[in-house]
């Protein structure tokens, strides 16, 4: 026999709805932040409030969590007891269904759930490891298949399957490594203002982890970086590197970033991350070098006073354009984001400033262009 009130026993008996559920009480019920329906998450009974018992339920399901499955994931319409270290699916907070996601791969040792989805969290001690290719499996005629999916949750889970396994593939590829057509310079990512802003906020050890994961010997092996010329869509404000009209000799060139409206020339917080990436690549190989290329983004004002007439010929899909001074400007800029914007919520626009009052217009010797903007109805 088993005494249901004996809290010292390894097994407890619970009754609800005419049914009995037996579980180990070696590990108490845990209500993770990713769970929904908090009043019935690890409560003493339905709706009694979180962390008052081991009840994990919804309007349709009732469970008691503990032992090997102490994590309670619940929503208004679903509930489930999960293994230690699991997180709840994102729809636990936003929908009726609810389930568990277990970090079962070495690539994702720390799984975190957000309203918008799931993410793997890096720490100074662990950031996961990439699957290692086994040459013997490949020599045996097998393919390495790496899978990442939401349902079921898999993060770079991998397996080997024979090439003759069949299936429903709709594409056939023939590879001939003896014939080279073009050179691959490498793979990489972008050094944007957003990257630099977040990188600057990391601790010293997390900066090392971040760089190692992307450019180090145990990481992705990146060797290429793209740097936007001036502000891009990953910047907190609008700015340009030379806004003096007709300055083709770049006498007024100003290397800067989005850290402040009046950021001094020579200030660019992308440089520390770029240098750290170069150092990491050099440690992998003494001959290793970080390859950088610059991509133009939004041009200065004096490049935007352009007046074009464009047509699309019947024989081509590419438009043919000719300059016409009698036409209005092709691009009309009326307002800009003139200060770093970082505390707005998702979907909320950043505050803007009329162009003729902004710092960008301060150095633009374009009285005609700016006067045209005066008196217009300015809209974000």
**Residue of higher predicted confidence among 25 and 182:** 182
Pairing of strands 224-229, 291-296: parallel
Alpha helices per DSSP H over 241-321: 271-284
**Residue of higher predicted confidence among 336 and 26:** 336
Mean pLDDT of the 70-99 span: 85
* Radius of gyration over every alpha carbon of the chain, rounded to an integer in angstroms: 29
**Residue of higher predicted confidence among 304 and 291:** 291
Mean pLDDT of the 360-379 span: 46
Residue 316: partners with Cβ closer than 8 Å, 6 or more residues away: none
Q: What is the pLDDT of residues 171-192, one digit of tens each?
A: 777 888 888 888 889 999 999 9
Mean pLDDT of the 13-24 span: 31
Kindly provide the residue ranges of all beta strands, DSSP E only, lying in 121-170, ordered along the sequence: 142-149, 154-162
Give yes or no for residue 271 having a pLDDT over 90: yes
Nearest to residue 192, comparing CAs of 228, 222, 240?
Answer: 228
Longest Cα separation, the chain: 97
Confidence of residue 166 (pLDDT cuts 50, 70, 90): low
Mean pLDDT of the 61-81 span: 90
Phi, psi of 85 (to 5 degrees): 90, -5
Give yes or no for residue 366 having a pLDDT over 70: no
Mean pLDDT of the 248-262 span: 91
Sheet architecture: strand order including 41-43:
41-43, 55-57, 62-64
Kindly provide the residue ranges of all beta strands, DSSP E only, lying in 170-297, ordered along the sequence: 188-190, 224-229, 291-296
Asked whether the beta carbons of 102 and 153 are under 8 A apart, the reply is yes
pTM value? 0.67
| pLDDT at residue 199, as a whole number | 96
Residue with tokens 């001074």: 325
With residue 213 as reference, give the H or E element that holds it: helix 204-215
Alpha carbon distance 26, 28 (integer Å): 7
Least-confidence region, from 209-218, 253-262, 316-325: 316-325
Nearest to residue 365, comparing CAs of 286, 275, 251, 278?
Answer: 251
Q: What is the pLDDT of residues 189-229, one digit of tens each?
A: 999 999 999 999 999 999 999 999 999 998 889 999 999 99
| pLDDT at residue 152, as a whole number | 59
Q: What is the average pLDDT score of the chain?
A: 80
Taken as a whole, the chain contains a residue count of: 380
Pairing of strands 87-88, 100-101: antiparallel
Confidence of residue 129 (pLDDT cuts 50, 70, 90): confident
Asked whether the beta carbons of 74 and 29 are under 8 A apart, the reply is no
Asked whether the beta carbons of 88 and 101 are under 8 A apart, the reply is yes
Conformation bin of residue 268: beta by default, left when phi > 0, alpha when psi is -120 to 50: beta
**Residue of higher predicted confidence among 278 and 309:** 278
| pLDDT at residue 116, as a whole number | 67
**Residue of higher predicted confidence among 317 and 310:** 310
Mean pLDDT of the 137-157 span: 80
**Residue of higher predicted confidence among 67 and 27:** 67
Instruction: Map residue 373 onto helix, strand or coil.
Output: helix
Phi, psi of 56 (to 5 degrees): -135, 105
Q: What is the pLDDT of residues 42-63, one digit of tens each?
A: 998 888 888 889 999 888 888 9
The string of DSSP codes covering 61-114 is -EEE-BTTB-EEEE-SS-EEEE-TT-EE-THHHHSS---EE---STT-SSEEEE
Q: Name all contacts of 245-254 with Cβ < 8 Å and 24+ positions apart.
A: 245/301, 245/302, 245/364, 245/365, 245/366, 246/302, 252/363
| pLDDT at residue 15, as a whole number | 29
Per DSSP, what are the bridge partners of residue 224?
Answer: 188, 291
Give yes or no for residue 303 having a pLDDT over 80: no
Confidence of residue 167 (pLDDT cuts 50, 70, 90): low
Give yes or no for residue 278 having a pLDDT over 90: yes
């Amino acid at each position: 026999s088993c005494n249901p009130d004996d809290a010292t026993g390894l097994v407890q008996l619970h009754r609800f709805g005419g049914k009995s559920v037996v579980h180990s009480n070696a590990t108490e019920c845990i209500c993770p932040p990713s769970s929904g329906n908090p009043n019935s998450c690890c409560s003493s009974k339905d709706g009694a409030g979180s962390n008052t018992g081991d009840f994990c339920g919804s309007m349709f399901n009732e469970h008691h969590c503990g032992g090997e499955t102490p994590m309670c994931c619940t929503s208004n319409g679903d509930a489930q007891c999960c293994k230690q270290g699991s997180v709840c699916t994102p729809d636990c907070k936003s929908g009726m269904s609810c389930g568990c996601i277990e970090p079962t791969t070495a690539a994702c040792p720390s799984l975190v759930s957000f309203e918008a989805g799931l993410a793997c969290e890096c720490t100074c001690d662990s950031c996961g490891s990439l699957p290692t290719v086994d040459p013997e499996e490949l020599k045996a005629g097998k393919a390495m298949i790496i899978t990442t999916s939401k349902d079921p949750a898999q993060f770079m889970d991998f397996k080997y399957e024979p090439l003759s396994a069949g299936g429903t593939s709709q594409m056939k590829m023939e590879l001939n490594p003896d014939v080279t057509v073009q050179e691959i310079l490498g793979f990489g990512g972008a050094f944007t203002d957003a990257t630099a802003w977040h990188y600057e906020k990391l601790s010293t050890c997390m900066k090392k982890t971040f760089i190692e994961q992307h450019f180090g010997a145990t990481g992705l092996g990146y060797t290429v970086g793209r740097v936007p010329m001036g502000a891009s869509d990953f910047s907190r404000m609008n700015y340009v590197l030379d806004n003096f009209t007709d300055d083709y000799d770049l006498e007024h060139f100003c290397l800067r970033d989005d850290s402040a409206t009046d950021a001094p020339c020579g200030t660019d917080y992308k440089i520390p991350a770029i240098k750290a990436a170069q150092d990491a690549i050099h440690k992998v190989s003494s001959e290793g070098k970080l390859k950088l290329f610059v991509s133009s983004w939004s041009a200065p004002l004096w490049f935007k006073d352009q007046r074009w007439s464009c047509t699309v010929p019947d024989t081509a899909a590419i438009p043919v354009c000719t300059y016409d001074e009698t036409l209005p400007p092709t691009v009309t800029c009326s307002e800009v984001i003139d200060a770093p914007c970082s505390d707005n919520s998702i979907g909320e626009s950043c505050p803007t400033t009329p162009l003729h009052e902004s710092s960008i217009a301060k150095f633009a010797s374009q009285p005609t262009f700016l006067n045209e903007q005066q008196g217009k109805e300015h809209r974000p």
